[in-house]
Structure 1
Amino acid sequence: MLEVINGFLLAYFMILCILSALVPQLGRTIAGCYSRPSSEERMIWGEIVKLKAEQKNVSMKDEFAAYSKLQRKINKLENHLKDNSQSRRTKSLAIKGSVLIILQVVMGLLIVASVIWFRREPIVVLKGDLFPLTTVLSYPSDMPNAISTHMWVLISNVSVRSLLRPVTS
């Protein structure tokens, strides 16, 4: 029913389509490496935890001045931590967006260049007559009942994205 003419191109375009579908996950993984909390943020968080534990040992009624002094220190550190984490999130979002755009552009250019380079190569030949679709499926190629690289990439991309949708969501 199906005869593979160019197995290398079949595998090559399948891998490209899979990588293209996984670009958002790759972008998140790469951006995640740059958005970890700094040692300063971890140190501030440890100080807040220590001050809160110390504050629990102080009676609010009996030693109000000491309690409120600890509370002011905690509030100051929390505000500083909040500012640092907000700037880190902003930087992380910018990195994630940039990495995602770069990966999508690279994958898009690679796929387009490959399709143009191998435009006349048929990937597979279907046995039987596909009368109304013969010319559409094999467009730049002259082989009857063949599936050209253009159509193979289109079919593969749609198939891979629909198969990976539950995994990538």
Structure 2
Amino acid sequence: MNILLIVSTSICAIANVIPFITEYIISWIFSENKNEKQLKLEVSKLEQEMSVISMVEEFSKYTKIQRKHSKLKEIYKNQYCTRLSSRLKTQLFFNYSAKFFNAIIMIILVKMYRTQPIIILPRDTLWPLNDLFSWPGTDQDSISLLIWIGITTLVLPRLFFKINSV
């Protein structure tokens, strides 16, 4: 088996897997911390306390609890938004960095092995399209690296989408 086939297919597959891997790792890193969990617990306790108190009969106590509830809820919301923003920035950075390095590797491979066939098939297997599949190379009944990258770039995302939807 041709090592160029394995390398090029692997690089195209990695390009489709990296977003899922980074999403998993980053969601683990940017998970809710103890302070946020404590704030969430306090907010829910205050909500329970407010539901027990009659707003008409104990208005001052109710408003005091309501102000504290609003303040804690605002603090939690700010921390949550900050964490979510940091998570999104980090995820975008890693995804685009990986795509950039992947593109550089692909460009280098195409530059070095542009005309070399990646798969050589039996005679007249690709008969009506043999010139198209072998382009820019000249070997008949072969698939060039450039065409193979195009095929894997089109097929693998659909394959990964079907796997993830199951």
Which residue pairs with 1:61 in the alignment? 56
Q: Could you say what the CA RMSD is over the residues aligned between the two structures, in angstroms? A: 2.3
The alignment partner of 2:92 has SS state of helix
**Structure 1 stretches (4+) deviating beyond 6 angstroms?**
none
Task: Please point out which of 5, 19, 26 is paired with 1:10.
Answer: 5
The alignment partner of 2:56 has SS state of coil
Structure 2 alignment gaps of length 5 or more: none
CA separation in 1, counterparts of 2:155 and 2:53? 64
Q: Is the 8 A contact 1:44 1:77 kept in 2?
A: yes
CA separation in 1, counterparts of 2:103 and 2:24? 20
Residues 1:166 and 2:140 are matched in the alignment: no
Which residue pairs with 1:51 in the alignment? 46
Which residue pairs with 2:78 in the alignment? 83
Structure 1 alignment gaps of length 5 or more: 1-5
Q: Is the 8 A contact 1:25 1:168 kept in 2?
A: no
Listed as ranges, the matches of 1:97-116 within 5 Å are 97-116=92-111
> What displacement does 1:104 show?
0.9
Report Cα offsets for 1:45-69 as digits up to 9, x if no partner.
1111222223333332322211111
Structure having the larger proportion of residues in helix: 2
> What displacement does 1:132 show?
5.7
Q: TM-score, normalised by structure 1?
A: 0.81
Which residue pairs with 2:141 in the alignment? 145
The alignment partner of 2:57 has SS state of coil
| Of 56-65 and 105-114, the range deviating more from structure 2 | 56-65
> What displacement does 1:131 show?
5.5
CA separation in 2, counterparts of 1:91 and 1:34? 11
| Of 137-146 and 85-94, the range deviating more from structure 2 | 137-146
The alignment partner of 1:99 has SS state of helix
- Over the matched positions of the two proteins, sequence identity in percent amounts to 25
> What displacement does 1:140 show?
4.8
Report Cα offsets for 1:68-117 as digits up to 9, x if no partner.
11111101100111111122222222112211111111111122222333
Which residue pairs with 1:3 in the alignment? none
Q: How many residues align?
A: 164
AA aligned opposite 2:145: T
Residues 1:25 and 2:20 are matched in the alignment: yes
Q: TM-score, normalised by structure 2?
A: 0.82
Report Cα offsets for 1:29-57 as digits up to 9, x if no partner.
23323432222211111111222223333
CA separation in 1, counterparts of 2:110 and 2:17? 20
